[in-house]
Structure 1
């Protein structure tokens, strides 16, 4: 798949992920939020939970899971740490989520996928 097609699939997957999250009661605060050192596909809030969501749109769930490796997650974590002050409120739970988009299946939302030192900080 060429870069243009991959970009188009990625944007479509992110749009679908946003609709899915909205249907589950999340409010979308930002899409493709970029900072030096990383990018977050979706910044979303539900109640006192602030989630930085990495979206993987692939042909199979296995391919989506494989695409979410530790290196990519670290970039999301770096971006989330730099973006958090823009979006967080007092007493927020902050987490890194993943959302897999696979054709012919419901989106799969995996909450709190980062288990490093930055996971589930409470401010």
Structure 2
């Protein structure tokens, strides 16, 4: 599973188009439907968020790809910013990816109101 946190609200159908373009239409992709058994190569799920970022995007697949390259592709496609895990033990630090491909570490503000805020 890969987790990306997207700053701007993006329609899940538009995400499907972009994911298809990223994977060059060579794999089957579908939105997660818990009522059906899925057999696609890539399944994705969008969870709305409150705060500085609007969507948590979860991608389920056994395919090998670079999540940073996918993040840059999506940032460029939607003119947005994306956070990905920095793979450290601290759950409040993230790598910020911009549509220019810039990367930097940012810190999440711990919030008791379930708001996702960045310092």
Q: What's the TM-score, normalizing by structure 1? A: 0.30
Determine which structure has the larger helix proportion and give its number. Answer: 1
Q: What's the TM-score, normalizing by structure 2? A: 0.31
